[in-house]
Amino acid sequence: MQPLLDAAARAAVGDAMRRVADAEIRPRFRALADGQIHLKGPGDYVTEADLEAELALTPMLRAILDVPVVGEEAASKDASVEDVLATDEVAWTVDPVDGTANFVAGSETYAVMVGLVEAGRPVGGWILQPETGHLYEGLEGVGAFVDGRPLPGVARTRAAEVRAAVADLPQGAVSVKYAADEVREGLIAAERELGDYAQLRMCAGFDYTDLVTEQVGYLVYTRAKAWDHVPGAAIAAECGYTVGRVDGSGYVTAQTAGAPLLAARTDHWESIREVLARHLAV
């Protein structure tokens, strides 16, 4: 199947992200005035950097591939923006500042994320970490890269050895804090079998790169907005990972509620899913 973007177009996405980060985000890092920070909900920040970066990046992406853009901040004002994710169309997703709470706190653990969806599936992803300068990218059928260098795929484990190998994985990182009570209880119970959890960084743009560089063994999320997961899921898929719901229903970008999402090595995914599903009763 022909990739949606050629090499020049893929490079143009990363270049656009860097230009917007340098113009709209980094100058505001650790320099936000009180009036430039707003709350959309409890603990859910939006800043002038988020708003201006999305406004700048949206037309730049459409100039590369003229399809709808589903931006986090546009969708927060008009939920119908997300409707395209349930169709057969191609669409961009944009999280202009992923990890906004970290950004507000002055932590370098924030990212700019762009995704590409086709028929409801993640097929492309770009994650820029502005303060480190690292750019991760992946496109279906092309591969995954960091700073232009190929990301190695994981070596497959023979089926008979999978369960033993799962025990040797690095800690998984799990979102417990914002889970509903019954989900939180199930995740805590599963921890006894899976081993102690690491904490998510509260920035999917760092969590997913931790996963594909094998700094963490798996990720579990209880919230599933497309702009948070499409980029990482697309990059991870090119490295030998699967992202899907713990009830086995897969990952559909238009579905934001339901069983938690699990991202793990494809050859270990089912073994981890079985443990989580048993304790979550899904």
The whole-number pLDDT of residue 128 equals 98
The whole-number pLDDT of residue 153 equals 83
The whole-number pLDDT of residue 43 equals 72
CATH 1.10.490.10 fits 7-150, yes or no: no
What residue ranges of the chain are covered by domains with CATH 3.30.540.10?
Answer: 7-150
The whole-number pLDDT of residue 83 equals 94
Q: Would you identify the CATH topology of the domain 159-280? A: D-Maltodextrin-Binding Protein; domain 2 (3.40.190)
The whole-number pLDDT of residue 165 equals 62
- Ranges of residues in the chain whose predicted pLDDT is under 70: 1, 156-167
What residue ranges of the chain are covered by domains with CATH 3.40.190.80?
Answer: 159-280
Question: In this structure, which long-range contacts are made by residues 99-103, counting pairs with CB atoms below 8 Å and at least 24 apart in sequence?
Answer: 99/201, 99/202, 99/203, 99/204, 99/205, 99/206, 100/44, 100/45, 100/46, 100/47, 100/50, 101/43, 101/45, 101/202, 102/201, 102/202, 102/203, 103/25, 103/29, 103/45, 103/47, 103/49
Reported as a single tens digit per residue, the pLDDT across 188-247 is 999 999 999 999 999 999 999 999 999 999 999 999 999 999 999 999 999 999 999 999
Binding residues for Mg(2+): 72, 95, 98, 228
The whole-number pLDDT of residue 160 equals 56
Give residue for tokens 């603990």.
43
